[in-house]
Amino acid sequence: MALILGIETSCDETAAAVVKDGYEVLSSSVASQIAKHAAHGGVVPELAAREHLTALTPVLDGALREAGVTLAEIDAIAVTQGPGLIPALLVGLSFAKGLAMGNRIPYVGVNHFIGHIYGAFLDEANRALEDGASYPLLALVVSGGHTSLVLIGRDGKATALGGTIDDAAGEALDKGAKLLNLGYPGGPVMQRTAEGGDPHRFEFPRPLTGAAGKPLAPENRYNFSFSGIKTALLYHVKHHADESGRLPEALLRDTVASYQEAVVDVLTRKTLAAAKETGAKTIVVAGGVACNSVLRERFERLTPPGVRLRLAARKYCTDNAAMIGGLGYHYWKKREFSAFDIDSFARLPQITQIPFLG
Question: What are the two backbone dihedrals, phi and then psi, of residue 124, each rounded to the nearest 5 degrees?
Answer: -90, 110
162 is in an annotated binding site: no
Q: What is the 3-class SS of the chain, one letter each residue?
A: CCEEEEEECCCCEEEEEEEECCCEEEEEEEEECHHHHHCCCCCCHHHHHHHHHHHHHHHHHHHHHHHCCCHHHCCEEEEEEECCCHHHHHHHHHHHHHHHHHHCCCEEEEEHHHHHHHHCCCCCCCCHHHCHHHCCEEEEEECCCCEEEEEECCCCEEEEEEEECCCCHHHHHHHHHHHCCCCCCHHHHHHHHHCCCCCCCCCCCCCCCCCCCCCCCHHHCCCECCHHHHHHHHHHHHHHCCCCCCCCHHHHHHHHHHHHHHHHHHHHHHHHHHHHHHCCCEEEEECHHHHCHHHHHHHHHHCCCCCEEEECCHHHCCCCCHHHHHHHHHHHHHCCCCCCCCCCCCCCCCCCECCCCC
Q: List CB contacts of 132: < 8 A, sequence separation 6 or more.
A: 154
How far is residue 129 from each of residues 4, 23, 135, 319, 321, measured CA to CA in Å? 19, 11, 9, 21, 20
141 is in an annotated binding site: yes
Of 291, 347, 328, 349, nearest to 20 by C-alpha is 328
292 is in an annotated binding site: yes
Burial class (CB in 10 A: 0-12, 13-18, 19+), 180: buried
144 is in an annotated binding site: yes
187 is in an annotated binding site: yes
143 is in an annotated binding site: yes
Binding residues for Fe cation: 112, 116, 319
Binding residues for substrate: 141-145, 174, 187, 292
Binding residues: 112, 116, 141-145, 174, 187, 292, 319
